[in-house]
């Protein structure tokens, strides 16, 4: 049975092991949150110093794309949560399907971001010394786009990692590696994906809705 | 466990983690045994210490004369940068937690291993990878920015700063994973009988260290990555010519690097709590105070980073806030010092090598800590900032305290890790060299700094000459002391007397198992009825044979 | 299987309804924050409103999608502690720039007096370092 094989020798019970894996995942998520923090702090400082420029730069973004992406990610979180729910009921093929659906939405997200990035490249809205757009006075424009690419870029990296994790766990779930008694990897994969969504929930208003 | 009668000879555990499940390089490189991983970390850290120490000797040689001695200014900048990077990221941060912590924490909580053994091995390989990348940068000339990588120089320097930044970034993840493992282990793998209030104090401090590692290290990682990106691609957010604020880097850098010094000192304090009880043969005075003060240091340490920016251009308002907050962290250290001293009072002291290093630790922690409080006073820091006063302060803590704690740990747990005792007389000799060498190296630096000698300068006015010579002389003695330790410790590997399960008569839980321990730590899990520092059932002032004497440990 | 291990048992009740409700709430709140942004509330108020809505959304995700609502204390403490330190770094760093003598901030920052900013913007820019 999957659950017996899953218990490591140094844990006294599967319940303890699951508790440990959850705590471990939350600690890892905490470190991921702190990874973004320096960028948010830089954003806070420079938005304060260049409030007008940031607002103007933000108005130049395609807000509807950011909004659609938010709807997409939130819905992908729903499908992941439903996937875990299915796993708890032992319906692991359903879990896989839902996870693949979430990956699909992740791809939509990345697609929209790619379109946006292309737009910025074409208009010279690039970070640091590559900023040539010029319609914003002072350094605010170049700083906005430096932070824009750093924050959304780091987030995109996490989206890709999240999709990979969902993919691996999805495939294993399809092949019957999990059951109602043991599906902790499904839960952990879900936690990572929800974090990706959680971060975007804050990124969207801070970048697009100034 | 009652003291072993002198007649029963100590036993070297034949089947132990060193030969189970297999010997040979491959079994070590693919191990999931926390004890082997701990040993590998210790070996790697000691090699790093030798490299960093070599750079330190080069620095002191250069400073023997006021003008250029053996190198030019650019080389000097690279050497002190590498000294800092190697010592801090490759030795001070990982040595005690990833070395001794890995070996001891599972045993001390009565577990078979850490919560995530494969993650533990990954942590070791990330350490190696980060070290290799950073040292590769050294081969290409290294950086000349100082280990603090201040912008805008670090983003514009022509030297090869990117490999070192990337190496440090990867090392950060090693640190995070180790911390994660220890926290989960402490929460979920404690044996029945080991409640939070019976947790060995070593574990409490390592737990607090782990909290800092998880919360602070990612910020450093991102910050160094930002510098690397700005250096390589020009995506400037610290570039003043593009509206950036270079002081912002300093905020981010010190948000990690101040708690980092607590990552360095908390494990040292962890060791000292164990050593003071074992060699005073007495319960710790104020268990809860010592345990919770570790968490206090970890928490409050995060609120103080701005005291590194007093003269950098942050607002005077912020300087005031950070100045006040910085004072609070000293309270928790004071609690520990008081409790350790109170533990010794009316104890039965054995003046063994670990205990000598404990005394050194205590003395130098006091002076290093007090000078820290002095430096945290804004008005005083205006005079001392970027002088040798600061250098002396942090070396008092890092070498005088943490390094001495490391040596205490090495000697205290050597018998547990290797099953053999070292030569106690040589231990004493080396300790004298180390302590005296230390004093002569760093005490003059307080005076130099107060008289205005700046740090990171390779030449200086003649009036600083005498003290610099004294400092270099001290450094030679210190280096000799370390080499003596290395010599007799390696000899002890092969020729040391067999130690047995508990050569010190210590009550720590790790001494309840054989030396070296078996693969799964305990052949038979003890009941853990007694606390880990409980000696009160011993008759008061009984004529105890000095620990080690009955073990046949060679004294000469 | 013992009763309190219901989450692992084969007859566990499903939380689909709860997830759909949360999803609905998240979609509505997203629309709300999007809509409110068109009012362009002045400076600090706009950020405060946006962050408050984002925090509510984040709370919903953490509590229900990530199951902190039905899990023991340590996991919640981990998340809360990390958020405390996020706030610490952001706020104390911001406090620095916000309380500096205006000319100690980057020269063309919008917090400097207007005449000084005009002078800087109108004169030749210093050669960038790259």
For residue B246, the chain A residue with the least C-alpha distance is: A42
Facing B176 at nearest CB: one of A19, A23, A31: A31
Judge: A35–B218 Cβ closer than 8 Å, yes or no.
Answer: yes
| DSSP secondary structure string for all residues of A53-88 | HHHHHHHTS-HHHHHHHHHHHHHHHHHHHHHHHHHH
Give whole-number Cα distances, C8 to A96, A182, B35, C4, in Å: 19, 7, 34, 9
* 8 Å CB contact of B189 and A11: yes
Q: CA B544 → CA A39, B6, B277, B540, distances in Å?
A: 60, 11, 15, 10
- Nearest 5°: the CA angle B30, B36, B39 is 125
Q: What is the pLDDT of residue C125?
A: 58
Query: Average pLDDT of chain A?
Result: 94
Q: Which residues partner with B387 through β-bridges?
A: B454
C83: three-class secondary structure by DSSP: helix
Residue with token string 């499908």: A79
Separation in Å, CA B104 to CA B23, B113, B173, B421, C78: 21, 10, 21, 18, 25
Task: Determine the residue of chain B that is closest to A29 in CA distance.
Answer: B214
Residue C26: list chain A partners with CB under 8 A. 74, 77
A28 contacts on B by Cβ (under 8 Å):
176, 180
How far away is chain B from the Cα of C106, in angstroms, using its nearest Cα?
5
- Whether C90 sits inside 8 A of A197 (CB atoms) is no
**Nearest C-alpha of chain C: how many angstroms from B366?**
29
Assess A11–B contact: CB distance below 8 Å, yes or no.
yes
Per the CB < 8 Å rule, is C50 touching A44? no
Encode pLDDT of B215-247 as tens digits.
999 999 999 999 999 999 988 899 998 889 999
For a pLDDT cut of 70, what percent of chain A falls above it? Answer: 98
Find the range with the poorest average confidence among A134-143, A157-166, A182-191, B375-384: A134-143
Query: pLDDT at position A116, please?
Result: 96
Pick the residue from chain B with its C-alpha nearest to A25: B180
Handedness of CA A17, A19, A22, A28 (dihedral sign): negative
Q: Which residue in the block uniquely carries the two structure tokens 């110093």?
A: A49
Q: What is the mean pLDDT of residues A5-19?
A: 89
Q: Are the C-beta atoms of B286 and B334 separated by less than 8 Å?
A: no
> Is the CB of C19 inside 8 Å of chain A's CB atoms?
yes
The mean-pLDDT minimum among B137-141, B371-375, B384-388 falls in B137-141
Contacts of B255 in chain C (CB under 8 A): 89
Q: What is the pLDDT of residues B323-368, one digit of tens each?
A: 999 999 999 999 999 999 999 999 999 999 999 999 999 999 999 9
**pLDDT tens per residue across span C87-112:** 999 999 999 999 998 888 988 888 87
pLDDT band at A17 (very low <50, low <70, confident <90, very high): very high
Q: How far apart are CA B387 and CA B365, in angstroms?
A: 20
Report pLDDT for B384. Answer: 97
* Tens digit of each residue's pLDDT (9 = 90 or more) over C14-59: 889 999 999 999 999 999 999 999 888 887 888 999 999 999 999 9
- Our CA-based measurement puts residue C130 at a distance from the nearest CA of chain A, in whole angstroms, of 7
Q: How far is B246 from chain A (nearest CA, A)?
A: 11
Of A184-188, B232-236, B274-278, the one with minimum mean pLDDT is B232-236
Residues 6+ apart with CB under 8 A from C91: none
Say whether C119 sits in a helix, a strand or coil.
Answer: helix
Q: How far is B322 from chain C (nearest CA, A)?
A: 9
Chain B residue with minimum CA distance to A46:
B244
Query: Do residue B245 and residue C126 have CB atoms under 8 angstroms apart?
Result: no
DSSP B61-130: HHTTSSS-SSS-HHHHHHHHHHHHHIIIIIIITTIIIIIIIHHHHHHHTT-SS-S-HHHHHHHHHHHHHH
Asked if residue B2 has pLDDT above 70, the reply is: no
How confident is the model at residue B536, as a pLDDT?
A: 80
Cis amide bond preceding B152, omega within 30: yes
Are C54 and A201 within 8 A, CB to CB? yes
**pLDDT band at C126; cut points 50, 70, 90:** low
Chain A residues touching residue C83 (CB < 8 angstroms): 33
A94 or C110: whose pLDDT is higher? A94
Phi, psi of C29 (to 5 degrees): -65, -35
Q: Which residues of C touch B215 (CB under 8 A)?
A: 81-82, 85
Interface of C with B (CB under 8 A): 74, 81-82, 85, 88-89, 92-93, 95-101, 104-109, 125-130
Model confidence band, residue B318 (pLDDT cutoffs 50, 70, 90): very high
Helix, strand, or coil (residue B542): coil
- What ipTM describes this predicted complex? 0.94
Q: Looking at beta carbons, which pairs linking B448-452 to residues 24 or more positions away fall under 8 Å?
A: B448/B387, B448/B388, B448/B389, B448/B392, B449/B384, B449/B387, B449/B388, B449/B389, B449/B390, B449/B391, B449/B392, B450/B383, B450/B384, B450/B387, B450/B389, B452/B387
What is the three-class DSSP state of B427?
Answer: helix
Q: Which one of B235, B246, B315, B521 makes the best mutation probe of the A interface by having the most chain A beta carbons within 10 Å? A: B235
Strands (E) across B142-209 are located at none
d(CA A96, CA A102): 10
At residue C11 the predicted structure's pLDDT band, cuts being 50, 70 and 90, is low
In contact, B115 and A20? CB cutoff 8 Å? yes
Say which of C82, C99, C127 has its CB closest to residue B215: C82
Residue B32: count of CB within 10 angstroms of its CB: 16
Q: Is the per-residue pLDDT at B551 higher than 50? A: no
Any CB–CB contact under 8 A between C34 and chain A? yes
Residues of chain C positioned with their CB less than 8 A from the CB of A37: 85-86, 89-90
**CA A45-A50-A52 angle, 5° bins:** 135
**Maximum C-alpha span of chain C:** 78
Rounded CA gap, B41 and B34, in Å?
10
- DSSP letter for B189, please: -
Higher pLDDT among residues C3 and B385, named by residue: B385
Token reading at C26: 């998240």
Reported as a pLDDT band with limits 50, 70 and 90, residue C129 is low
d(CA B85, CA B154): 14
Chain A residues with beta carbon closer than 8 angstroms to that of C34? 63, 67, 209
Percent of chain B with pLDDT over 70: 95
Residue B547, pLDDT score: 46
pLDDT tens figures, B458-515 = 999 999 999 999 999 999 999 999 999 999 999 999 999 999 999 999 999 999 999 9
Give the number of beta-carbon pairs within 8 Å between A and C. 157
Identify all chain A residues contacting B112, using CB atoms and an 8 Å cutoff. 9-10
Q: How crowded is residue B60: how many other Cβ atoms within 10 Å of its Cβ?
A: 21
Q: Which tokens in the block code for residue A99?
A: 């996870």
- The answer on pLDDT for A210 being more than 90 is no
B234 interface with C at CB cutoff 8 Å: yes
Of the candidates B361, B333, B409, the one whose C-alpha atom is nearest the C-alpha of residue B38 is B409
Span A29-50, pLDDT tens digits: 999 999 999 999 999 999 999 9
Among B182, B185, B249, B251, the residue to mutate for chain C (most C Cβ within 10 A): B251
* Residues from chain A contacting residue B187 (CB–CB below 8 Å): 19-20, 23
Q: Is the pLDDT of residue A25 over 70?
A: yes
pLDDT at C107: 82
The distance in angstroms from the start CA to the end CA of chain C is 67
Q: Which of A24, A38, A138 sits opposite B219 (nearest CB)?
A: A38
Q: Is the pLDDT of residue C12 over 90?
A: no
pTM for this model (two decimals)? 0.93
User: Is the CB of residue C60 less than 8 Å away from at least one CB of chain A?
Assistant: no
Chains that touch A (3 or more CB pairs under 8 A): B, C
> What is residue B70's predicted lDDT score, i.e. its pLDDT?
94
Length of chain C: 130
* pLDDT score recorded for residue B554: 41
Top residue of C9, C41, C46, C82 to mutate, by most chain A CBs within 10 Å, is: C82
Read off the pLDDT of residues B37-88 as tens digits, 9 standing for 90 and up. 999 999 999 999 999 999 999 999 999 999 999 999 999 999 999 999 999 9
């Amino acid at each position: 049975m999957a659950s017996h094989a899953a218990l490591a020798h140094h844990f006294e019970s599967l319940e303890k092991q699951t508790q440990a894996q959850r705590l471990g995942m939350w600690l890892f998520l905490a470190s991921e949150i702190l990874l973004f923090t320096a960028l948010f702090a830089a954003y806070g400082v420079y938005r304060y110093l260049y409030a007008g420029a940031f607002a103007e730069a933000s108005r130049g973004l395609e807000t509807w794309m950011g909004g659609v992406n938010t709807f997409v990610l939130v819905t992908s979180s729903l499908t992941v949560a439903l996937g875990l729910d299915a796993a708890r009921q032992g319906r692991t093929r359903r879990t896989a399907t839902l996870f693949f659906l979430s990956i699909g939405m992740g791809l939509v997200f990345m697609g929209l971001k790619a379109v946006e990035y292309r737009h910025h490249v074409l208009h010279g809205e690039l970070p640091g010394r590559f900023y040539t757009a010029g319609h914003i006075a002072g350094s605010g424009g170049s700083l906005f786009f430096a932070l824009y690419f750093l924050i959304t870029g780091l987030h995109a990296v996490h989206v890709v990692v999240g999709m990979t994790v969902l993919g691996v766990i999805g495939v294993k779930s399809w092949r019957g590696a999990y059951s109602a008694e043991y599906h902790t990897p499904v839960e952990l994969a879900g936690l990572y994906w929800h974090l990706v969504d959680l971060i975007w929930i804050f990124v969207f208003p801070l970048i697009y809705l100034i | 466990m009652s003291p072993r009668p002198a007649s029963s000879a100590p036993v070297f555990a034949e089947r132990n983690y060193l030969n189970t499940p297999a010997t040979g390089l491959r079994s070590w490189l693919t191990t999931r045994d926390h004890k082997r991983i701990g040993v590998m970390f210790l070996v790697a850290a000691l090699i790093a210490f030798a490299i960093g120490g070599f750079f330190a000797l080069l620095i002191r040689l250069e400073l023997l004369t006021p003008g250029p001695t053996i190198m030019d200014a650019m080389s000097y900048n690279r050497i002190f940068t590498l000294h800092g990077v190697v010592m801090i990221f490759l030795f001070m941060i990982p040595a005690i937690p990833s070395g001794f912590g890995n070996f001891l924490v599972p045993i001390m909580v009565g577990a078979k291993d850490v919560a995530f053994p494969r993650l533990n091995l990954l942590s070791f390989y990330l350490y190696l990878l980060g070290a290799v990348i950073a040292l590769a940068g050294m081969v290409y000339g290294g950086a000349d920015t100082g280990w603090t990588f201040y912008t805008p120089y670090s983003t514009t320097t022509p030297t090869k700063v990117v490999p070192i930044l990337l190496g440090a970034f990867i090392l950060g993840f090693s640190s995070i994973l180790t911390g994660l493992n220890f926290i989960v282990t402490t929460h979920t793998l404690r044996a029945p009988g080991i409640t939070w209030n019976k947790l060995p104090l070593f574990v409490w401090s390592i737990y607090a260290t782990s909290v800092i590692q998880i919360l602070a290290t990612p910020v450093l990682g991102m910050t160094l990555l930002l510098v690397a990106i700005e250096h390589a691609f020009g995506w400037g957010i610290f570039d003043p010519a593009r509206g950036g604020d270079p002081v912002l880097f300093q905020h981010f850098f010190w948000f990690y690097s101040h708690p980092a010094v607590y990552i360095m000192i908390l494990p040292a304090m962890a060791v000292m709590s164990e050593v003071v009880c074992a060699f005073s043969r007495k319960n710790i005075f104020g268990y809860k105070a010592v345990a919770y003060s570790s968490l206090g240091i970890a928490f409050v340490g995060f609120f103080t980073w701005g005291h590194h920016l007093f003269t950098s251009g942050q607002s005077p308002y912020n300087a005031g806030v950070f100045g006040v907050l910085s004072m609070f962290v000293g309270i928790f250290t004071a609690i520990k010092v008081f409790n350790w001293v109170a533990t010794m009072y009316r104890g039965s002291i054995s003046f063994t090598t670990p205990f000598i290093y404990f005394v050194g630790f205590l003395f130098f922690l006091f002076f290093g800590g007090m000078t820290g409080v002095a430096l945290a006073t804004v008005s005083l820091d205006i005079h001392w900032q970027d002088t040798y006063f600061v250098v002396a302060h942090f070396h008092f803590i890092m070498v005088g305290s943490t390094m001495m704690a490391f040596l205490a740990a090495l000697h205290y747990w050597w018998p547990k890790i290797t099953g053999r005792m070292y030569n106690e007389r040589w231990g004493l000799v080396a300790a004298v060299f180390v302590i005296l060498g230390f004093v002569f190296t760093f005490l003059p630096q307080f005076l130099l700094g107060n008289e205005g000698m700046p740090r990171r300068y390779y030449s200086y006015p003649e009036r600083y000459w005498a003290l610099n010579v004294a400092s270099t002389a001290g450094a030679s003695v210190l280096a000799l002391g370390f080499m003596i330790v290395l010599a007799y410790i390696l000899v002890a590997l092969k020729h040391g007397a067999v130690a047995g399960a508990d050569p010190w008569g210590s009550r720590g839980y790790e001494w309840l198992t054989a030396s070296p321990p078996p693969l799964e730590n305990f052949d038979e899990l003890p009941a853990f009825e007694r606390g880990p520092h409980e000696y009160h059932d011993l008759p008061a002032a009984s004529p105890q044979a000095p620990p080690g004497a009955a073990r046949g440990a060679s004294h000469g | 299987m013992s009763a309190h291990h219901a989450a692992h048992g084969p007859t566990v009740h499903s939380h689909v309804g709860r997830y759909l409700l949360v999803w609905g709430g998240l979609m509505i709140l997203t629309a709300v924050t999007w809509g409110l942004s068109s009012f362009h509330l002045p400076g600090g108020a706009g950020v405060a409103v946006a962050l408050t809505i984002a925090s509510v959304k984040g709370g919903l995700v953490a509590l229900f999608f990530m199951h902190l609502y039905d899990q023991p204390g340590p996991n919640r403490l981990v998340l809360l502690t990390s958020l405390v330190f996020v706030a610490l770094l952001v706020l104390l760093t911001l406090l620095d720039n916000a309380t500096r003598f205006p000319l100690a901030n980057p020269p063309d920052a919008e917090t400097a007096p207007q005449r000084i900013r005009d002078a800087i913007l109108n004169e030749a820019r210093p050669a960038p370092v790259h």
